[in-house]
Chain A
Amino acid sequence: AQTVTQSQPEMSVQEAETVTLSCTYDTSESDYYLFWYKQPPSRQMILVIRQEAYKQQNATENRFSVNFQKAAKSFSLKISDSQLGDAAMYFCAYRSGRGGSEKLVFGKGTKLTVNP
């Protein structure tokens, strides 16, 4: 079974600074997808960024980028120019690329605090 580990329960960053959230995963599959989701307090979860395992290039979405190390099974999220609105729980998630399995496997999350 696949597992996702987020070793940082909490992180903090100063506004306008850069922060990196860590995620490692365990799988025997070669085809899969990785995601970072953001869950603001009392609000619904939204997708921040996704990475297909077959792509070598790291995904980027505006201020958000990932460092995908397939051999090391590592998938970290970098948030540049942090904003107060970035404060939230961040979840790393895995989905198999095998047909018929659609479930997301989540880590326990990292609570990000942005200090003004």
Chain B
Amino acid sequence: DTGVSQNPRHKITKRGQNVTFRCDPISEHNRLYWYRQTLGQGPEFLTYFQNEAQLEKSRLLSDRFSAERPKGSFSTLEIQRTEQGDSAMYLCASSLARLAVNNEQFFGPGTRLTVL
């Protein structure tokens, strides 16, 4: 399977615990995005990377959230001191940046987080 993969697919945690999600993009894609989708809503942008550089962050990404892409390949999203409001589907997407071309974002299956 050469699509975007995310692990774990489901995570249940207790309030106050830290969680980390992983995203593996399509192999040649240099851009990677994180979105959050709550029930009944469309995805909301969190952040994106070009290679290992984090180029844009949403105001939704509070101090408890941190994302990394250390070698420009896979990325991790960590949430510290989880709150019940963090319960959501966390989606990862990747794209290949090319000049003067619309760069389609390919989405992974998501990680569903439940904070008890």
Contacts and interface: CB of A to CB of B under 8 A. Distances in A.
Chains A and B belong together in one complex: yes
A43 B40 contact: no
A33 interface: yes
Interface core residue of B55, B102, B109 (most chain A CB under 10 Å): B102
Contact of A91 (B33, B42, B45, B104): B42
B43 interface: yes
B42 A102 contact: no
B87 to A, nearest CB: 17
Contacts, number: 54
B42 A44 contact: no
Given A105-B45, A106-B44, A108-B40, A100 B55 contact: yes
Interface residues of A, number: 22
Interface of B: 3-4, 31, 33, 35, 40-45, 48, 55-56, 58, 91, 95, 102-110
A interface, by DSSP: helix, strand, loop or mixed?
strand
Interface string A24-61: 00000000010001000001111100101000000000
A65 to B, nearest CB: 18
Given A102-B55, A105-B45, 4 more contacts: A103-B58, A106-B42, A108-B40, A108-B41
A104 B55 contact: no
Interface string A3-29: 010000000000000000000000000
